[in-house]
Structure 1
Amino acid sequence: MDTSKPWSRYLGPESPDPHNFKYQPHSRPIFSSPWGPFPPIAPDLNLHEFCFPPNQPLPRDYPLFINALTDERVTLHQFHSRVCSLSRVLWHAGPNPLNLGKSPVNDKEDGEVLGLFSRNHIHYPMLAHACFKAELVFGGISPASTPFELWWVLRKMQITSIVCHETLLPVLQEALKLGSGEGDKSSQLRLVLDPGKIIVLSDNPGLEKVEGYMTVESLVRMGEKIPEVPRKLRGGDQMCYLFQSSGTSGLPKAMMISHKNAIHSSLQGMVAATQNALFTGIEPLRPQRVLGVIPAYHSYGMILWILRVNLLPLTNVMLPKWDIELALKSIEKYKLTTLPLVPPLVRQLAQSPLTEKYDLSSVVGAGSGAAYLPPDVAYQLAKKLPQGAGTPIPSGYGLSEAASIAAPATPGIFGLERTLPGTIGYLLPGMEARIVDPDTLQNVPKGQKGELWVRGNVVTPGYFKDPKATAEIFAEPEWLRTGDLMLRDEKDRIVYLDRLKEMIKVKGLQVAATEVEDTLLDHPEGLVRDACVAGVDNGRGDGSLFVRAWVVLSPEGKKQEEEMVVRKLNEHVEKQLSKHKWLTGGIEIVDSIPRTPSGKMLRREMQDRYHDGLKAQSKASKL
């Protein structure tokens, strides 16, 4: 690596020139990223040593994490020192005051797995990096979990020890009361958490214990007194951490991420940022000030707050939880340049009158991920930011099973064309893809709909201790079935249509719920603020469905009679879409649409409410 050009490590010998190389679309079944392959890395590289290469001095110090609520700060140098101290405590072969065991290298082994059960916190990334350095596998757990959901995830991840934020201790304590899971026929995995290995993440750094449990800060102080033992860290294909799936189609699963997976997920952003800067003629990897609202336990948050530490100068202003006014105040106060968001937050910022009250002139760019972003809000928020409506909010695409797969590209780089909202864009560095008929498992011709299959070094080895679920997502070795219905256009851009499981079959024809939702949101009078479309029982017992919509009215929609709004929306859909996509199941006006924290719509919940209502009506009519 050229030390005068630290970004040179993100360009390999096969990296294409951003000005001179022109990507050529083709019709072969397997298509590859215009960005080319990944730069080479050592096959056994540990994620912590990727972010903090041994024998290289740290760059000049700067604030790395800031608590938006309290202004508490952690600088890069403090972060590194604290990571080293805590890792000495967590290392199973060191003094090991917690009596931690060795972690499994894959799901064929048992071993120590540390749970991280916390909301966003300025010390969450430090915990993760200490685990990387200590070769301790951890599992990120949603802080929104109920006791039952936590109990389930603790078993799926085979958590043996846990770091719990002090405010979540009551949830953990209730989860432990549910027992080992001995009588649960839905899973063979039992609760293995050792109650003696509970550690508390407290907001008060002075506390040694909370409710009798040791605190993270007490362990950091303990680690400061333990001498460092130089050693070669293991990484590569070994398991690094576990992700909790979103649980949109049943209870969550746990997927494995290796050091190699994580490093390449990090590399994708670094490669793209470096090439974009070279293409636009600016110095790569300039300092950024970032709004920290994406949950750290999520794959998107993992990339933002953990996998990129020390790879470029980032000051991350962390919100403990989403608060639109605190977010806007933080943008103005800290002059934030970058806003990573999810669709519900894009919509809220786009539509809230509060957005007009704050100075957002520092924002260079915003982006969305984790779920589908409707085009209407991509334009609405862009209008309120310096980038303007001509540069709508881009939306990337990835899965917990493969954190980053595709995204829009800067127009012109590698000769690529602009990606419009409603489509995803081009494959990210190191990725290959196919569009496959989900029934026959045969490749479909370019331009036809099918399931997106991908392969690359970011793809998970599979679900932890769940070979059946793993086999379902890998119909062929290396090729991950995404479960998403896609189309590959003439430029080799990917167009998202819908989740395969959420496609609505009407008289043998497929209806993409997102297409109908976008049509409702695109009504010329702007009557709808949010929309959910799903298939509901047609009552005939023939397996076909009615298409039904649930809509949240905009301020304009609320000014009109509901009956009039429903009529106008039906007329608009019937004018724009084919007959089998019409809303034969009706339109219901609701106060809100249920979503996961990352923004994925819970269509199943709306369907269940509707069907439960029908059953209740049927019973009442028989009385």
Structure 2
Amino acid sequence: MALNWTRFINPEAPDVHSKYIPTKAPIFKSPYGRFPKIDADLNVHDFCFPPDQPLPPDYDLFINAVTDERVTLHQFHQRVYSLARVLRHDGANPLGLTKSPKDDTEEGEILGLFSRNNIHYPMLAHACFRAELVFGGISPGSTSYELWHVLRKMQITSFVCNEALLPVLREALKLGRGPSGQLQLVLDPRKIIVLWDDSSLDEVQGYRTVESLVRLGATLPEPQRKLVGGDKLCYLFQSSGTSGLPKAMMISHKNAIHSGLQGMITGVRTAQFAGVEPLTRQTLLGIVPAYHSYGMILWILRVNLQPATNIMMPKWDIELALKSIQKYKITMLPLVPPIVRQLALSPLTKKYDLSSVTTCASGAAYLPPDVAYQLAEKLPNKTPIPSGYGLSEAASIASPPAAGMFGLSASEPGTIGFLLPGMEGRVVDPDTLQDVPKGQQGELWARGNVVCMGYFHDREATAELFAEPGWLRTGDLVIRDADDRIHYLDRLKEMIKVKGLQVAATEVEDTLLNHPEHLVIDACVAGVDNGRGDGSLFPRAWVVLSHEGKRQGEAAVTEKLNAHVGERLSKHKQLAGGIEFVDSIPRTPSGKMLRREMRDRYHESLKAGKINGKL
């Protein structure tokens, strides 16, 4: 059955063979044009599964890469209906759930989802959409203290916990309600549900299982009602926490639908440009975490919009990933930069057949250009890995289109391409809040239907996020070139001020990684105290040695790296803070580098008189 992909295209959208005309105006727009018209109160589930359209022929939707357990599209649909009947506050409601809030001016039921990637995680999310139950995705890598913080920040009242993470939950609950005067713990222990791999169990350690609720829902009648969505709160995202404990973003149904829609628009327009049938069948490697905005789009917001089989991995294992590519003939690799780097450098790739891979893309964090080229050489089409750009606060903002589309030249690695469908942008001086001319550095501001509602129960942070109504301050330093292409430089908060001059940490990191002898496989640069008390900083690098770097030794590598940086970068960008050799660079699960952690470790060591690096 042919897909009705025409619903993803605005009738007034520009032709893919037309020429995009850059603008000199401060506000620039997407080459793709505007979004198609969407019903104002549309629910995410009804967007993915239109009630007036039959299901397509069945196929494997999710496969567990470890066990080969499968869920087909039709099974998924039936299970979503069953679980949603149980989760409705106005239905049978065996858990005693209350109505969810429409925004943070109301109190109500919020379900926490605490799990690694699981073939049933998307079903839980869609059941919540259908039950109009707000949920919050929580990182499975959280410590008990971090979980306790997020439970309070999101005001979680009920909870689904992967069985392997129950010990973390128990320790979090021992921390109590929290300080008075702050958001306190409101989770009801009677509303804890376990996501267990053994589908036959109704109860685990005193808690009901998800499968028991699915079975119960299958016995209940389906009520006739129109689902509501639109501007109502749909789910909460946990921020990455690169600058402290995470906050919670409010995502409406409208935000979620348009985030999913962008990929459909770009997919259809790219196919039209290439002269092939749009939205043909794909098989994806499912390693991007589902709780993250990137994973939410891939595994949840695009279900049934394009035929796709998703091979889900509960955690990263490079050999299992390579085996899965070969076994399932995976065609699409959605990755994050640390995994791109590991695949690029690993000799294991030679053991497996990667010829099925037609597309690879990176997201969630900055991808160094050298890595984009290195992995490309191992894949069939040799195309440098493109890197999309988005935030938890706006899941998808920009990405590189196919070269030649809309008359645009290729976006080389190191750039983040052009604004995605329906988006508008500005580049603004972060101090004066005035628009800057093309070619000058400034903070990227973004506007569009994917931009979040704000931070949950945090009006001060929301006010900082939106300096002007509708305009999201991304916190990222960029340059907009003559063609309206966006070049990413760095996080504003991670710019290093040296004698009044700004240094982009990513520029220095890329220089280290591009040493012709490939002496390091990973690098982190941050500003450290210069010891003079004048507020200025010194750039300092933490590097992970390659095999060649280890062979040459730390002293020789230090000398060569300093010489390499000195030849290519201005004096204020050179590593006056020293080079330190480490086993690994800490990152969030989505791949964002924790420069703050490295800087803080250094300052603590400095105070204690224990510096292990090379100064």
* TM-score, scaled relative to structure 2: 0.98
* Whole-angstrom CA distance in 1 between matches of 2:52 and 2:375: 44
Which secondary structure state, in structure 2, belongs to the residue aligned with residue 559 of structure 1?
helix
Kindly report which structure 2 residues correspond to 1:594-605, keeping only aligned pairs within 5 A, or say none: 594-605=586-597
Q: Kindly provide the amino acid, as one letter, of the partner of residue 552 in structure 1.
A: V
Code of the residue aligned with 1:100 in structure 2: it is L
Q: Deviations over 1:84-130 (max 9, x none)?
A: 00000000111111110000001100000000000000000000000
Sort the Cα spacing of 1:145 and 1:4 in 2 relative to 1 into closer, same or farther, 3 A: closer
Correspondence 1:314-329 to 2 at 5 A? 314-329=308-323
Q: State yes or no: 1:62 paired with 2:59.
A: yes
Residue 14 in 1 paired to residue 8 in 2?
no
1:297-355 deviations in whole A, cap 9, x for unaligned? 00000000000000000000000110000000000000000000000000000101111
Per the TM alignment, residue 397 of structure 1 is displaced from its structure 2 partner at its CA by 0.2
Query: Cα distance, 1:15 vs. partner?
Result: 1.2
Code of the residue aligned with 1:558 in structure 2: it is K
| CA distance in structure 2 between the aligned counterparts of 1:547 and 1:208, rounded to whole angstroms | 56
Measure how far apart 1:608 and its partner are: 1.0
User: 1:291: Cα distance to partner?
Assistant: 0.2
What's 2:515 paired with?
Answer: 523
- Please tell me whether residue 345 in structure 1 is matched to residue 342 in structure 2: no
Q: Which of residues 134, 137, 145 is equivalent to 1:137?
A: 134
TM-fit CA distance, 1:5: 5.1
1:243 corresponds to 2:237: yes
Correspondences of 1:543-558 after superposition (within 5 Å): 543-558=535-550
Confirm or deny that 1:268 pairs with 2:266.
no
**Are 1:148 and 2:140 matched, yes or no?**
no
User: Where do 1:34-53 residues align within 5 Å?
Assistant: 34-53=31-50
Matched, 1:496 2:493: no
Q: How far off is 1:55 after superposition? A: 2.2
Q: Hey, what's the Cα distance between the residues in 1 that align with 2:428 and 2:483?
A: 18
Give CA deviations for 1:501-552 in whole Å, capped at 9, x if unaligned: 0000000000000000000101111111000000000000000011111111
CA deviations 1:67-87 (Å, max 9, x no partner) are: 000000000000000000000
Number of the residue aligned with 2:598:
606
Aligned ranges 1:549-568 → 2 under 5 Å: 549-568=541-560
Q: Tell me if 1:178 matches 2:175.
A: yes
Amino acid at match of 1:244: Q
Question: How far did 1:171 drift?
Answer: 0.7
Alignment correspondent of 1:413: 405
Q: CA deviation at 1:613?
A: 1.0
1:110 is paired with a residue of what secondary structure?
Answer: coil
In 1, Cα distance between the equivalents of 2:86 and 2:376? 46
Q: Taking every aligned residue pair, what percent have the same amino acid on both sides?
A: 74
Cα distance in 1 between the residues matched to 2:13 and 2:22? 18
Match of 1:393 in 2: 385
1:264-288 superposed Cα distances (whole Å, 9 cap, x missing partner): 0001000000000011011000000
Q: Once the 2 structures are TM-superposed, how far is the Cα of residue 4 of structure 1 from its aligned partner?
A: 4.9
Give the residue type in structure 2 aligned to 1:240.
C
CA–CA distance in structure 1, aligned partners of residues 255 and 350 of structure 2: 41
The structural deviation recorded for 1:589 is: 1.3
User: Match for 1:85 among 82, 88, 93?
Assistant: 82
Q: SS where residue 257 of structure 1 aligns?
A: strand
Among 472, 479, 491, the residue aligned to 1:487: 479
Q: Aligned-residue CA RMSD in angstroms?
A: 1.0
Q: Secondary structure at the match of 2:377?
A: helix
Matched, 1:291 2:289: no
Displacement of 1:22: 0.9
Change (3 A) 1:368 1:618: closer
Distance 1:74 1:603 in 2: 40
TM-score norm. by structure 1 comes to: 0.97
How big is the shift at 1:182?
A: 3.0
TM-aligned CA deviation for residue 13 of structure 1: 1.5
Aligned AA (1:252): P
Supply the distance in 2 between the matched residues of 1:14 and 1:590 (Cα, whole angstroms): 54
Equivalent residue number for residue 575 of structure 1: 567
Aligned length: 611
The code of the aligned residue for 1:333 comes to: K
The one-letter amino acid of 2:501's match is L
Q: Which ranges in structure 2 are unaligned for 5 or more consecutive residues?
A: none
Partner in structure 2 of residue 31 of structure 1:
28
Give me the whole-angstrom Cα distance separating, in 2, the residues matched to 1:207 and 1:117.
19
Query: Residue type of the partner of 1:142?
Result: S
Q: 1:495 deviation in Å? A: 0.4
**CA distance change for structure 1 residues 216 and 286 in 2, over 3 Å: closer, same or farther?**
same
Alpha-carbon distance in 1 for matches of 2:24, 2:495: 26
